[in-house]
Copies of this chain bind each other. A is one copy, B any other.
Amino acid sequence: MKPQESSGEGSALTREEEQAEVIRRLEEDIIFGRFAPGSRLVEDTLMTRYGASRHFVRQGLFQLERQGIVLREKNIGATVRFYSAEEVRQIYEVREMLTRQAALMIALPASASLIEQLSELQRHYCAKADAQDLRGIHETNDAFHVALFAACGNPYLVRSLQDYMNLTLPMRAKNLADTEGLALSRRQHELMIELLKGRDSWALAQLCVDHMQFSKSDYLGRIADKPNP
């Protein structure tokens, strides 16, 4: 008899998975605007909403604070963090710098296995895009970029890049839902794969930087309309 796997549960979730699930749902609720920037994230509310214990909700809030999309004030509580235009520009400045450097470090022409891997990820991305699966779009998109930049050979650089990708998630979210932006994004991914077959590192780096301009300026435009919603 297996002592673990406590007696017949409807949802077969281990604790670790449950924790991950809470973070995932909380993140999703924030990114896709179900909790507006500035709105409070009360632990008890989230506990009932996600059917999780206080412990997991706390951990999730800590994690998301670290990621930068939640603001926690001692003895006050957590809120959805809002970024001003100035902050967004600064964040993107660093992200663009890291992106450019990472792209320049990718040895060209890229290996066949990398090309194949990226093509495969791109297929998944297109599938999710066609299915209008927001969460799936976001996940496959990030997987594509992580796989691409991993080819730079420096895992620490990739990690920093991921930090900034997570930080800019709230700004990119709307873009993931936009049909036009999605089509552009898809074309740029394919162009990246083409450039990986060539030798022009600079062109690749520039394309990667250009790739993030749409969501940045879109977000800046959006918050310019109403700075205090």
Contact = CB atoms under 8 A, between A and B. Distances in A.
Interface of A: 16, 62, 66, 74, 87, 90-91, 93-94, 97, 101, 154-157, 160, 163
Given A16-B74, A66-B66, A74-B16, A160 B157 contact: no
A154 B93 contact: yes
Contacts of A93: 154, 156-157
20 contacts: A16-B74, A62-B62, A66-B66, A87-B156, A90-B154, A90-B155, A90-B156, A90-B157, A91-B156, A93-B154, A93-B156, A93-B157, A94-B154, A94-B156, A94-B157, A94-B160, A97-B101, A97-B157, A160-B160, A160-B163
Q: How many copies does the complex hold?
A: 2
Contacts of A66: 66
A101 to B, nearest CB: 6
Given A93-B154, A93-B156, 15 more contacts: A16-B74, A62-B62, A66-B66, A87-B156, A90-B154, A90-B156, A90-B157, A91-B156, A93-B157, A94-B154, A94-B156, A94-B160, A97-B157, A160-B160, A160-B163
A94 B97 CA distance: 12
